[in-house]
Amino acid sequence: MTKLDETLTMLKDLTDARGIPGNEREPREVMKKYITPYSDEISYDGLGSIIAKKEGNVTGPKIMISGHLDEVGFMVTQIDEKGFLRFQTVGGWWSQVMLAQRVTVVTSKGDITGVIGSKPPHILSADARKKPVEIKDMFIDIGASSREQALEFGVKPGDQVVPYFEFTVMNNEKMLLAKAWDNRIGCAIAIDVLKYLKNEEHPNVVYGVGSVQEEVGLRGAKTAATMIKPDIAIAVDVGIAGDTPGISEKEALSKMGDGPQIILYDASMVSHKGLRDFVVGVADELSIPYQFDAIAGGGTDAGSIHITLEGVPALAITIATRYIHSHAGILHRDDYENAVKLIAEVIKRLDQETVNKIKFD
């Protein structure tokens, strides 16, 4: 087993934390632990997003770096008389990645292990085997024999349910496998950008944000941006890796290890051209690898931030990740580290004159 260094330990702590939308306390506390040493002030918006402020030039522009704390998961909605749990998906799920997967039900009495039930193939007709099971027909089995026993275990409607998976450094040690990369990797980038800038001069005030409820409508980014009133914003998130069998270049261009993705367009926004061109210029100047991508569906915190208040020039920088919105994803450590370097070096160059040029040229 690979010995975890300081960075890998942080990534494990972040991804192990349980936190679906509306239940972000645990990942927020992990992020607070790691970002506080590099911050001048910690605050929160009314929904629970964490905002870490680092002052450079206090009269300079405000720069917001936003990763979201929440992960896709489930919420208990009913307990039937036999003790099986019915649930609501929270965030986007595809039914084919769910059956027979292990989950953790987080209750007031502690964690309970469960599995999303499935029928054995022996009793399925040939036609039934070809059809995906609809999410509305799924249930979670926690080994309870009755509703009363499930209640005794501590389960109640509204409890969050998260995928169970152990953080793993793969045989190729650049490849990192974990649940909740979407979007604990964004939180990690926000932490490490502030760490990178700890002893560096920067002509602005930086806000490293762990936003809430991104997976259900980019909500926390809007409330956090309303508090911060940023001049420039960068959302950091996962993107689509197009380097596995069955995905064409028409669907997704990016390859893991080829650098962070600069998002040109997604369903939530058209990226700000001035900011995008500036970021690309810094990457080219420093020979930091990067990739362009456009995503027809989905969005990032930038989609919410850029239409906050009078409008904020915003861009999404993402990490190509395999198998997102499932129990486990894979990303490449080099992409993460290059994203941190690129964003931090961009921040070092964002003085008031440059920000004004980005905004109005």
DSSP assignment of 232-268: EEEEEEEEE---STT--TTT----TTS--EEEEEETT
Query: Omega into 183 within 30° of 0, i.e. cis?
Result: yes
CB 321 within 8 A of CB 246: no
Q: How far apart are CA 187 and CA 197, in angstroms?
A: 16
Q: Shortest CA distance to 74 belongs to which of 164, 10, 143? A: 164
- 214 an active-site residue? yes
Q: What count of residues does the chain have?
A: 361
What are the tokens at 255?
Answer: 């390859």
Catalytic residue among 6, 148, 152, 214: 214
Torsional class of 198: left (φ above 0), alpha (ψ -120 to 50), beta (otherwise): alpha
Torsional class of 326: left (φ above 0), alpha (ψ -120 to 50), beta (otherwise): beta
* Backbone torsions φ then ψ of 319, nearest 5 degrees: -110, 120
3-state helix, strand, coil in the chain (%, to 5): 35, 25, 40
Q: How far apart are CA 193 and CA 325, in angstroms?
A: 25
* Sign of the dihedral defined by the CA atoms of residues 28, 31, 37, 42, in that order: negative
What are the tokens at 105?
Answer: 């039900």
Distances (CA, A) of 267 to 105, 122, 131, 309, 352: 32, 42, 29, 20, 30
Residues recognised as catalytic: 214
